[in-house]
Chain A
């Protein structure tokens, strides 16, 4: 069955770059056009970070400015998130998702990775 798994450092220093990878198993990233990232600050609601398309195009939430970069590596069956110049406000659980349609129908989610921004 389709499984997504986030991986990356759980602690990032302020002003540094947060990097996470989502490994996809049981499904080829070449078969679906859209992959995305969602985050959830502890005890709070959900925020869309961005999406990456199979052809390499991306969509980013304007609330994150130009700090976010997403990429897709179909040869490794994974996609990645990079968020620069992090602050404590970026502390959150980060989820990777498969999107069945553009910006909707998030039908598979990873278990989430808690990233804490702290010195």
Chain B
């Protein structure tokens, strides 16, 4: 079973400042087709998760360009270039290459 490890567990950020979240997989997520099967989701308070990034670095429709994803293999990063108040919530990475699919434990982002 693939284990997804996120860090940090929580993050307190001043509006306008950058933020970065790390996600590490216990197995490579690089498919033979060249894509990394790694998504990022944001669960805002009281809401269901929403897709931010898919295949490691592709922004989902409607996601602001201050969000970016990078990484390959086992190490991935989600960056927010300038955090806004609406970005608060819990961020999850998820792998879908190996069964069962697995989510990271989540990173809680708060505003200072």
Contact = CB atoms under 8 A, between A and B. Distances in A.
Q: Do A and B bind each other?
A: yes
Interface of A: 45-48, 59, 61-63, 95, 100-107, 109-112
Interface in B1-59: 37, 39, 41, 47-51, 54-55
A106 B103 contact: no
B37 A104 contact: yes
A105 B63 CA distance: 14
11 contacts: A46-B49, A46-B94, A61-B100, A103-B37, A103-B97, A104-B39, A106-B41, A106-B49, A106-B51, A110-B48, A111-B48
Nearest to B38: A104
Contacts of A62: 100
A10 to B, nearest CB: 17
B96 A103 contact: yes
Given A45-B92, A45-B106, A48-B103, A105 B54 contact: yes
Given A45-B105, A48-B102, A111-B48, 10 more contacts: A59-B99, A61-B100, A103-B37, A103-B99, A104-B55, A105-B39, A105-B54, A106-B94, A111-B47, A112-B48
B48 A107 contact: no
A67 to B, nearest CB: 14
Contact of A107 (B51, B97, B101, B102): B51
Contact of B96 (A45, A46, A47, A101): A101
Contacts of B41: 106
Contacts of B47: 111
A45 B60 CA distance: 22
